[in-house]
Amino acid sequence: MTSDQPLVIDPNRPLVETVLGITPALYRQIGFFLENPATAGGIVRVRDNQLVAMSQASAMHMMNSHTPQSALNYKREDFWHLPDLENFNQEWQQALQPDGSNSLEFSYLSCNPLIGRERDEEGDWKRYHQRYKLIQCPITQELYHVSNTLGSELARRPVSV
């Protein structure tokens, strides 16, 4: 679409869905990140652990090693410490409701996927503290994790990677 093309606002097919592929279930979460640009967080599609959106604060945090767009190419398996990911998957499945009515706080180790899991220099690993909600799109039934970062600190490479 260019500026000289007419724009048809169709409530049955909103522009944000058409252009960005974002479902109505995520509008409120995206709106929150737009209204709170200093809040770090993101949205991950559950079926494939794909990061689909991130806040401006998260994007700026990643600028030292990624462009925001390249960061959206990663899946959790690419940067989470795998035992932490296994524990998270067990916990969220027991604790979270798909209507976003409750939340789960979880901490995990993360590596820089550009460097890999084997290196252990300062800054290669971090521990993130997140709050998660589960959102289900009523149209597609797709599940998403919406996260807010509560904090992070540098960490040492775990013994088992």
pLDDT at 59: 75
pLDDT at 90: 98
pLDDT at 94: 98
pLDDT at 117: 67
Residues 6+ apart with CB under 8 A from 10: none
pLDDT at 143: 94
Phi, psi of 92 (to 5 degrees): -65, -35
Per residue in 25-38, pLDDT (tens digit) is 788 888 888 898 88
pLDDT at 107: 98
Give CA–CA dist 68/107, Å, rounded: 22
Q: Where are the domains of the chain?
A: 15-155
Over the chain (161 residues), the average pLDDT of each successive run of 10 is: 49 51 76 88 93 82 60 84 97 96 96 72 84 91 94 87 60
pLDDT at 161: 60
**Domain 15-155 grouped into CATH 3.40.50.1820:** no
pLDDT at 1: 45
Kindly list the distances between the CA atom of residue 66 and the CA atoms of 12, 132, 152, in Å, as whole numbers in the listed order.
Answer: 36, 23, 18
Tokens encoding 66: 């990624």
Which of 74, 77, 78, 81 is closest to 59 using CA atoms?
74
